[in-house]
Amino acid sequence: MAMACERKKILWLVLHLLMVVFVKGAPQVPCLFIFGDSLSDSGNNNDLATVAKANFKPYGIDFPFGPTGRFTNGLTTIDIISQQLGFEEFIPPFANTSGYDILKGVNYASGAAGILGAVVSLGLQIAHHRVIVSRIASTLGSMNKAQEYLSKCLYYVNIGNNDYINNYFLSQLYPTSQIYTPHQYAQLLIQHLEHNLLDLIDVGARKLVIVGLGLVGCTPNSIRTFGTNGSCYEEGNEAVSIFNSKLVSLVDTLNFNLSPYSKSIFIDSTAVAIANTNAPGFTVSTVGCCVTGWSGECIENEEPCNNRKEYVFWDDFHPTEAWNQINAINSYAATNPSFVHPMDIKQLVDQQVNIMLPEFPHHFKTHLTTTSAL
């Protein structure tokens, strides 16, 4: 009986997604700006000197345009959310906005990026956004007009996984875990993230979607490297849960201090993953669908599995499109209130915010960092 109910729920979710995708009309927000790591990257790393790339087969095997730099077989979570929001075209990567209308948004996410650094850090992504805001102001005629326009847009921030996977958990390469306890490290990340988010608000962000970290201890890489008998690396999951708890507090602090000038929401990726552990159709969750090399990414041109919709993971780190659909649907219109805080994306886009002058947020920077309940 319970399984039947779960199947009905998943079927409803898929039908809901299909209805949203094929409904024509203006997007629910005029533009979407995306910040993050490989979970959201759509090609920003293609020409960078880094091994964190996905512009080759079998990546993109199910994507309409083949390999583009997306670290999955098809659509990323934010690709699907953009469709749910009504965008007919995918948001272009910052590295290639030529021929695209930047008034509809830009994707700055970069594979291997983190809050503290690596490749294109969150701070650098926001610096890139300042360039785009200047171009938007020139197009619209003034910065005030740009601020008014940007206040209606959606800002999606999904970052922090690599600060653990590629730093804190790699004690053989980095001393971070010897210097900081899990609570101290989470605090450090939150403080940096807070400054980044305030900088984003400073250049016009008013509606922010801040995604929490998932079960990083349950990726195929973590299971193989740290797990025992094929089980998750629970110590890693516990460290990430500390960060997520502090992130919820940060969202509450931003909303308390900046309301009615901005609204922020938290997406609980861990809660979504736990609730869908036994989701119908998924039969493989401990290994990826493609053949991976030393980096945990797919080996170029190696044939992946055929039953991709049954796999949670595409490679050793990144979900399949099938799993991304579950994340996207529960971010946009949460089937369980515990998945989001204090609301989901669908509710956020309907929120009204006051328009501030460009210099207004500066008043709050010191106030926020000294009063945040972190």
Q: What residues are annotated to the active site?
A: 38, 315, 318
Which class for 200: exposed (0-12), middle (13-18), buried (19 or more C-beta within 10 A)?
buried
The amino acid occupying position 294 is W
The amino acid occupying position 248 is V
Burial 1-24 (b: 16+ CB within 10 A, else e): eeeeeeeeebeebeeebeebeeee
d(CA 165, CA 337): 28
Q: Strand 340-341 to strand 311-313: parallel, antiparallel, or no bridges (unpaired)?
A: unpaired
Q: Give CA separation, 343 vs 158, 247, 251, in Å.
A: 17, 15, 12
What single DSSP character describes residue 166? I
What single DSSP character describes residue 298? B
Instruction: List all residues 6 or more positions away from 76 whose beta carbon is below 8 Å from its beta carbon.
Output: 39, 40, 41, 42, 70, 321, 324
Helices (H), the chain: 2-22, 77-84, 122-140, 143-150, 161-163, 176-179, 182-202, 220-225, 234-258, 269-275, 321-332, 345-348, 362-371
